[in-house]
Structure 1
């Protein structure tokens, strides 16, 4: 698959998706369309169980919307909302490896991912800085930041366009793991490989139930939990899990 601004590297059951739109990995229409194609391909690929999203280079994960492509904003902005929501509700775990600063739509992308790893390096910060421009976060940031760090802290960060480093982000629960410089993708890959060993159908069912509860309410979340529970009971992975437990060995899940 030929993509201009998104790179895909697959190792085993883990696919690393790299935003490759220098200098700031910002989102113009072409990059957004490449992202959509990449997500389509990775969702259909049954060999891929976990996805990592990172930025090219060492300075920037993503700076958000590409203002030089403002002429396409009427198309890019709605597509960004749709894709970030899709990532939030993706059927496979998605990990953000924040290798450099993530601002505006870049942090909104990271917030859409299920896990966030961030490099602890001088001047590397994350924040929703849109109010500095007289606009507001428009790709899900108001909702997802509050869900992750709480309403009061989210309002403080958004109202004053505050940017935080890795340690502060970790302390407030904004990121799950802090990495040394040059190691964030490596750390995310190690985590992803461990996660990829978990039963894929069960993992997908958990993601669907959690997403339904968040977006559609607890009753729908519980309904999908029950549906998923019935489904996994019929899988070969269920038999493998119980067999491995009785045989006192590690299970080898196949997603069947």
Structure 2
């Protein structure tokens, strides 16, 4: 790794990358340097063929990410704001469509840009004490890193409007009921549960999982007929692989499959 990291702690456990956002003194608020380091480490992980899953979390138990750095945004010019919003959207699009499975382990406040980052992940596990929200309107801005769009697609327009227009925070239990998070766990079990989820996914065919992710991500906004065509095309890509043959053989022979990702 060429770049030294001040605000990111990175470790690798077998085929799983763990990224910890490390500005706990300001609740892991996103400033330019943290954003740049996050972009960099995700690029490094994308190029690592051994890694199949990413777990993204924050340091401490107070915050995953409490949003963008307010002091930084206050001083931005319009041109700087334009660069900031488009860079954030582009990065979260890359994260959402990563060839890795991305799990957000929400260890504390998940607000503003923090929730937008979490929404771009494939799966979200929250500790019981976590509060989530998009409070941008309370400080004179509104979500610009995909919050208005990904949240509406996840929970529906009505709930998204309520959360965005009020800026209200909701507890993890309510976020689970709304479908914003997949699971709520005691805070001392958060990383254990996140790793266990990643490991269950990694037992499956990597090509099948990635083609399923592609079909879901790209098909959800299409008309059903076009989405079904996309699904069939992705299915056929997977059907042509050695992993498909191995998975079906292993099932019939009552053995564990030995997937090779080809």
Structure 1 residue 130: Cα displacement: 0.7
Structure 1 residue 172: Cα displacement: 1.2
Tell me which residue corresponds to 1:107. Answer: 115
Change (3 A) 1:52 1:216: same
Structure 1 residue 215: Cα displacement: 5.0
Structure 1 residue 73: Cα displacement: 4.0
Tell me which residue corresponds to 1:32. Answer: 35
The ranges of structure 1 where at least 4 consecutive aligned residues each deviate by more than 4 angstroms after the TM superposition are 215-220
1:136 aligns with 2:149: no
Q: Does the 8 Å CA contact 1:81/1:138 hold for their aligned counterparts?
A: yes
What are the ranges of 5 or more consecutive residues in structure 2 without an aligned counterpart? none
Correspondent of 1:18 among 13, 17, 20: 20
The size of the alignment, in residue pairs, is 254
Q: In 1, Cα distance between the equivalents of 2:191 and 2:56?
A: 9
Q: In 2, Cα distance between the equivalents of 1:92 and 1:119?
A: 23
Does the residue aligned with 1:97 lie in a helix, a strand or coil? strand
Q: Does the 8 Å CA contact 1:92/1:207 hold for their aligned counterparts?
A: no
**TM alignment of 1:86-235, pairs within 5 A:** 86-121=94-129, 124-215=130-221, 218=224, 221-235=227-241
Q: Does the 8 Å CA contact 2:96/2:120 hold for their aligned counterparts?
A: yes
Change (3 A) 1:40 1:173: same
Structure 1 residue 219: Cα displacement: 5.5
Task: Return the TM-score normalized by structure 1.
Answer: 0.93
What are the ranges of 5 or more consecutive residues in structure 1 without an aligned counterpart? none
Q: Does the 8 Å CA contact 1:25/1:63 hold for their aligned counterparts?
A: yes
Structure 1 residue 91: Cα displacement: 2.0
Please provide the CA RMSD for this pair. 1.7
